[in-house]
Amino acid sequence: MSIIENFDVYAPRLVDQEEFYAAGHRACGGCGEALAIRLMCKAMGRDTIVTNATGCMEVTACMYPTTAWNLPWIHVAFPNSASVGAGVESALKALRRKGKIADRYVQTVSIGGDGGTVDIGLQALSGAMERGHDMLYVCFDNEAYMNTGIQRSGATPFGASTTTAPAGDESFGKKAWKKNVTEIILAHNVPYVATACVSYPFDFMNKVKKAREIKGPCYIHCMAPCPTGWRLPMGDCIKIGRLAVETGVCPLYEVENGKYKITVDMLEPLRPVIDYLKPQGRFRHLTPEKIEEIQARVIMECNKIKNKVDSLQSWDELG
Amino acid sequence: MAKQAGMEIAFAAAEAVALCRPDVIAAYPITPNTHMPEHLSDIVAEGRLDCEFICTESEHSAMSACCGASGAGARVFTATSSQGLLYMGEIIPIVSAMRLPIVTALGNRALSGPINIWNDHSDIMSQRDMGWLAVFAANGQEVIDMVIQAFKIAENRDVMLPIFVNLDGFQLTHMVEPIVFPTQAQVDKFLPAYKPYAAVHPDNIVSMGSLGMPDVFNEFKKAQDEAVINSKKVILEVWKDWEKAFGRKYEPIISYGAKGADVLLLTMGSMTETASVAVDEMCKEGMSVGLLDLKLWRPFPSEEFKKAVKGAKALAVMDRAVSYGGTAGPVGAEIKALLYDEPDAPAITNYIIGLGGRDVTVEDFIKMGKEASKAKKGKPEKAYEIYGARGS
């Protein structure tokens, strides 16, 4: 895909060397989410305020009296990162207008895990997106409530075994398909939504930078593999993220003013989904029939996106 | 002479909030406090107040947005009632632990069920132990005075705690009363601009809302308790400043002919005025009766209270909430515990009155006063009584 030879070798030099999310936090070895946050902060830069939902990233990074955050950071509770962000954004607006803080733009970024975003925090997120706050929300999706011990969430994929949707003689794990929150947020008519994966750092950081420049509410749904919860060796986090993209499980795209664009080309044909499922302990119980079912669904979901890319025009063109 | 205007109290409270120049208001409408955010959004829409008004999709988000805004250094206000307060409930203890001075006007309303929109104190009593300060207004003038005082109290560097200004739903929120408004210049002089101790901003990087492990949690809680206890000093100072500036006196417990009286009634909120008429009637009949109006609920004014009941033989504590299967109503239990070690404490009768908007008349207070006057210390007939309930 890259047009420059050895782009991946040279590209890190393009990234800001300053660390806003310091080493020494207490996340598990090989944590995809911690890495994704570090990249997000680099893309955002100094003039950023982060609001954080309760979850892994909150408990591991800010144990009193220490903090891994070298950006202003506020955590209040589990379901309300977006509403806290709405409050921060509004305060910045008012205080700047009244001359009570420095007269320059500071971006509010609200972050949460999949539980804090697609389940318990969905209402707060919907409210903030609907009201049009000038903020970015990033969901770091590791596909279960990892902080509390791998319970299923609305973002847990079909067939995954979790501690509240376990596989057993009478169960194949989670029976429902993953909730598509990216599309739900897009239905709020926000100017920018995107999917991302920590294994594609430049794609993710470019999207964060783009969202930073766009006025109004933006949403990025970033897959952040969790070796602990996915039952993987801790060194395989990046590899499994790449497999998620190559198999079409996690298609990378963005939607700007209603216009869909695939940002990392889908393989043609897609890599078989079994390559992604097999290394992960959470899928080890799946029968060939169930894997077939997942394969069919993945192809269909990718086709849905391709169909939108081909057929949907930008809202600017429609109006 | 300041100008007096007849106005619905919820509207007047909104006007008082506007005089305090908040930076952010986040609110969600709920009966009987709807008029407050409505009128505030009007004031903002008219350009009379430079403020970000966030009309959230729930009370949970309203209080959360208040936390974000307050954490970013803004002066913040919200208003709610009953179920709305409970929906904020997850955030309420966090606000006080984070020491965010959010002023909240609580239009007191019964908790469901059965669903009921009218007044009692079950909402505030359910949040009694959340580390917030709490004051009770007896009339419209007190509501607007207390709203303005609340910002000065909450934002004081020695306090930094959120505060509930309690006003009875309908009995106060929807009542039209003559109210004296301070001028903007007077309020600006009384209430200094808010200078946050810390705020999230890239110019001064802080982390707010950390995880507290068992090795520090105890100390956090002790510090918080001390902050609430110590806030009384500031509250008394602010009330003194208020009296100097506006001539109206506020005390933790206001006595209405209570000094030297044999029998005392204790009320909170709007029932105080009805009870005061009953006290007049009983005094006319030759009874030695007085009234205590408890204005400061948190921190509880223990010393002032012991002093106020000294010498009284009987005390009728009027609760507006039930502690189901408990030892007394929430106020009754607290006062019994407080007076346990007092050798000459009065005999306490605990009435739970006016639940879910049930009217309590002058005659009712006279009946309770007379009954309480006969109570013998150490021989209570019952722990408490839900007054006037049929079928008992």
pLDDT per residue over B105-123, tens digit each? 999 999 999 999 999 999 9
Q: Does B180 touch chain A (CB under 8 A)?
A: no
Q: Does B381 touch chain A (CB under 8 A)?
A: no
Q: Does B294 touch chain A (CB under 8 A)?
A: no
Q: pLDDT band for B392, please (50, 70, 90 cuts).
A: low
Whether A265 has a pLDDT exceeding 90, the answer reads yes
Q: Do A84 and B202 touch (CB under 8 A)?
A: no
Q: Which of B94, B61, B323 is nearest to A125 (CA)?
A: B61
Residue span(s) of chain B under CATH 3.40.50.970 come to 4-246
CB atoms within 10 A of CB A309: 15
Q: Do A80 and B91 touch (CB under 8 A)?
A: yes
CB atoms within 10 A of CB B248: 12
Q: Do B61 and A124 touch (CB under 8 A)?
A: yes
Whether A27 has a pLDDT exceeding 70, the answer reads yes
Q: Which of B77, B68, B80, B103 is nearest to B22 (CA)?
A: B77
Q: Does B119 touch chain A (CB under 8 A)?
A: no
- Please tell me the distance from the alpha carbon of residue A14 to that of residue B316, in angstroms, as a whole number: 75
Amino acid at A81: S
Query: How much of chain B, in percent, has pLDDT values that exceed 90?
Result: 96
Q: Which of B173, B139, B185, B232 is nearest to B357 (CA)?
A: B173
Amino acid at B99: R
- Residue to test with chain B: of A75, A84, A122, A133, most B Cβ within 10 A: A84
Whether B2 has a pLDDT exceeding 80, the answer reads no
- Please tell me the distance from the alpha carbon of residue A302 to that of residue A299, in angstroms, as a whole number: 5
Q: pLDDT band for A17, please (50, 70, 90 cuts).
A: confident
Nearest-neighbour CA in chain A from B281: distance (Å): 52
- Please tell me the distance from the alpha carbon of residue B380 to that of residue B346, in angstroms, as a whole number: 12
Instruction: Please report the domains of chain A, with CATH numbers, ordered by start residue.
Output: 7-318 (3.40.50.970)
pLDDT per residue as tens digits for the range B222-274: 999 999 999 999 999 999 999 999 999 999 999 999 999 999 999 999 999 99
For residue B301, is it left (φ>0), alpha (ψ between -120 and 50) or beta?
Answer: beta
Q: pLDDT band for B379, please (50, 70, 90 cuts).
A: confident
Whether B344 has a pLDDT exceeding 90, the answer reads yes
Range list of H helices, A98-218? 114, 122-131, 181-186, 201-213
* Residue pair A87/A179 in contact by the 8 Å Cβ criterion: no
Q: What is the mean pLDDT of residues A184-210?
A: 97
Q: Does B66 touch chain A (CB under 8 A)?
A: yes
Q: Could you tell me which residues are beta bridge partners of residue A205?
A: none
Q: Which of A9, A14, A31 is nearest to A237 (CA)?
A: A31
Return mean pLDDT, chain B: 97
Whether B337 has a pLDDT exceeding 50, the answer reads yes
CATH topology of domain B4-246: Rossmann fold (3.40.50)
Nearest-neighbour CA in chain B from A287: distance (Å): 42
Q: pLDDT band for A4, please (50, 70, 90 cuts).
A: low
pLDDT per residue as tens digits for the range A134-190: 999 999 999 999 999 999 999 999 999 999 999 999 999 999 999 999 999 999 999
Q: Which of A181, A85, A69, A71 is nearest to A135 (CA)?
A: A85
Q: Which of B140, B172, B145, B138 is nearest to B248 (CA)?
A: B145
Q: Does B100 touch chain A (CB under 8 A)?
A: no
Q: Does B216 touch chain A (CB under 8 A)?
A: yes
Q: What is the mean pLDDT of residues B128-132?
A: 97
Return mean pLDDT, chain A: 96
Which residues in chain A have Cβ-Cβ distances shorter than 8 Å to B51?
94
Q: Which of B48, B53, B104, B97 is nearest to B78 (CA)?
A: B104
Q: DSSP class of residue A271?
A: P
* Residue pair B149/B239 in contact by the 8 Å Cβ criterion: yes
Q: What count of Cα atoms within 13 Å lies in the side-chain half-sphere of residue B20?
A: 32
pLDDT computed for residue A319 by the predictor? 86
- Please tell me the distance from the alpha carbon of residue B151 to that of residue A20, in angstroms, as a whole number: 35
Counted residue by residue, chain B has a size of: 392
- Please tell me the distance from the alpha carbon of residue A88 to that of residue B53, in angstroms, as a whole number: 13
For residue B49, give both structure tokens.
């107040």
pLDDT computed for residue A1 by the predictor? 46
Q: pLDDT band for A3, please (50, 70, 90 cuts).
A: low
Secondary structure class of A227 (helix, strand, coil): helix
Q: Compute, in degrees rounded to 10, the torsion defined by CA atoms B227, B69, A222, A121.
A: 70
Q: What is the mean pLDDT of residues A233-250?
A: 97
Q: How many Cβ pairs within 8 Å bridge chains A and B?
A: 174
Q: What is the mean pLDDT of residues B15-40?
A: 98
CB atoms within 10 A of CB B58: 18
Residue span(s) of chain B under CATH 3.40.50.920 come to 253-386
Residue of A nearest to B72 (CA): A88
Q: Which of B314, B332, B338 is nearest to B386 (CA)?
A: B332
Q: What count of Cα atoms within 13 Å lies in the side-chain half-sphere of residue A238?
A: 6
Secondary structure class of A27 (helix, strand, coil): coil
Classify B253-386 by CATH class: alpha beta
Residue B24: which of A49, A58, A87 has the nearest Cβ? A87
Nearest-neighbour CA in chain A from B61: distance (Å): 5
* Residue pair A11/A28 in contact by the 8 Å Cβ criterion: no
pLDDT per residue as tens digits for the range B35-60: 999 999 999 999 999 999 999 999 99
Question: Strands (DSSP E) along chain A, which ranges?
Answer: 48-52, 73-75, 107-113, 135-141, 167-168, 171-172, 192-197, 218-223, 253-256, 259-262
Residue with tokens 């804090």: A116
* Residue pair B306/B341 in contact by the 8 Å Cβ criterion: no
- Please tell me the distance from the alpha carbon of residue B100 to that of residue B197, in angstroms, as a whole number: 10
Q: Do B24 and A79 touch (CB under 8 A)?
A: no
Q: pLDDT band for B216, please (50, 70, 90 cuts).
A: very high
- Please tell me the distance from the alpha carbon of residue A77 to that of residue A75, in angstroms, as a whole number: 6
Q: DSSP class of residue B293?
A: E
* Residue pair B59/B31 in contact by the 8 Å Cβ criterion: no
Cβ contacts of A319 within 8 Å, gap of 6 or more: none
DSSP string, B115-172: ---S--SHHHHHTTTSS-EEEE-SSHHHHHHHHHHHHHHHHSTTT---EEEEEETTTT
pLDDT per residue as tens digits for the range A58-95: 999 999 999 999 999 999 999 999 999 999 999 999 99
Q: Does B23 touch chain A (CB under 8 A)?
A: yes
pLDDT computed for residue B1 by the predictor? 46
- What's the Rg (C-alpha) of chain A? 19
For residue A241, give both structure tokens.
């993220």
Query: How much of chain A, in percent, has pLDDT values that exceed 70?
Result: 97
Q: Could you tell me which residues are beta bridge partners of residue B294?
A: B253
